[in-house]
């Protein structure tokens, strides 16, 4: 990995090179990787940004926001919006609140790192989607769809307009076009292999339809997060998480360091419009370990548009 000191210096230089107040939306920013990226962004902008954290844990969000640097610009604001992203209607409501209550008409950075750790089988939401897929894939599509006009407006005004989905770029596999959404056959292994490819193909679909915008899919590597260690997690799961953390500790990074590396990927690696895949140190992954075809992308797009419609 590049020296962290140089990564921090680069991030600071980029975010301090503009006179405008950037707007950033962090979905899943109340803990883990999303928190790390949000904190790095707040630090390097010296708090002079419009930062919105979306998630379920209000208390955690308030603690994070209180730690941000105090802004000197009257245009800056730091807000939390509560949203259970497993339901598309909630995503739609949250983005509507951003526009109507907070006056967010343009978005420079949309970062999505929402996660749901469960070994349960297919768990259908009231909208007919598997809960884990809703969090790791469908909600990401829905946030982009809803905030697309705001991203386009930022670009039209000569500002940055970038999207990053954090999951597992380069760690996917072939998708099953005959079972999109995993209603016929479900396993956590199958989901884990195919969902990264779902994200790749979805972001490519948006990039093809919006050639002025920049989209990225990141693999964060081993990060010391609290995923799987929530209060309502069973004891065996908490014990397993602790064991994995201990075994991977020499190979892992802190949430804060991960945030700096992935922010660097957004700011420096993802410099031009299109669909990017970046590694855990923010560098370009290119098409290494890439899966999917034009037929896959078309079928998945049509499926996603249909099942994410809010009734």
Question: Quick one: fold of 4-228+254-305?
Answer: Rossmann fold (3.40.50)
Q: What is the rounded distance in angstroms from the CA atom of residue 195 to the CA atom of residue 193?
A: 6
What's the pLDDT score for residue 2? 81
Tell me the whole-structure pTM to 2 decimals: 0.92
* Alpha-carbon separation of residue 185 from 92, 173, 269, 276 (angstroms): 29, 16, 37, 30
Q: What is the mean pLDDT of the chain?
A: 92
More confident of the two residues 224 and 93: 93
- Render pLDDT for 66-116 as a digit per residue (tens, 0 to 9): 999 999 999 999 999 999 999 999 999 999 999 999 999 999 999 999 988
More confident of the two residues 249 and 171: 171
The percent of residues above 70 in pLDDT, for the chain, comes to 91
Element housing 261 (H / E): helix 255-264
Q: Domain residue spans in the chain? A: 4-228+254-305
What are the DSSP calls for 5-19, one per residue? Answer: HHHHHHHHHHHTS-S
More confident of the two residues 243 and 23: 23
């Amino acid at each position: 990995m590049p020296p962290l000191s140089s990564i921090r210096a680069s991030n600071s230089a980029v975010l301090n090179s503009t006179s405008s107040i950037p707007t950033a939306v962090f979905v899943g920013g109340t803990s883990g990787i999303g928190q790390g990226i949000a904190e790095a962004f707040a630090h390097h902008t010296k708090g002079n940004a419009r930062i919105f954290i979306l998630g379920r844990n209000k208390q955690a969000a308030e603690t994070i926001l209180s730690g941000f640097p105090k802004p000197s610009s009257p245009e800056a604001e730091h807000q939390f919006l509560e949203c259970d992203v497993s339901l598309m209607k909630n995503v739609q409501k949250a983005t509507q609140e951003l526009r109507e209550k907070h006056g967010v008409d343009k978005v420079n950075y949309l970062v999505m790192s929402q996660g749901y750790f469960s070994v349960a089988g297919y768990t259908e939401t009231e909208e007919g989607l598997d809960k884990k897929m809703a969090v790791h894939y469908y909600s990401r599509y829905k946030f982009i769809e809803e905030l697309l006009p705001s991203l386009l407006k930022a670009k039209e005004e000569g500002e940055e307009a970038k999207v990053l989905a954090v999951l597992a770029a380069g760690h996917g596999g072939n998708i099953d076009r005959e079972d999109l959404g995993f209603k016929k056959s479900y396993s956590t292994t199958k989901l884990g292999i195919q969902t990264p490819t779902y994200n790749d193909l979805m972001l490519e679909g948006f990039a093809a339809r919006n050639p002025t915008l920049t989209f990225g899919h990141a693999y964060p590597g081993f990060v010391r997060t609290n995923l799987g260690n929530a209060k309502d997690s069973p004891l065996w799961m908490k014990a397993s998480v602790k064991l994995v953390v201990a075994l991977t500790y020499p190979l892992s990074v802190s949430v804060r360091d991960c945030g700096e590396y992935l922010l660097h990927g957004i700011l420096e690696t993802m410099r031009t419009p299109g669909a990017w895949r970046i590694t855990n140190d923010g560098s370009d992954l290119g098409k290494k370990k890439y899966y999917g075809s034009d037929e896959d992308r078309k079928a998945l797009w049509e499926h996603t548009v249909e099942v994410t419609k809010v009734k």
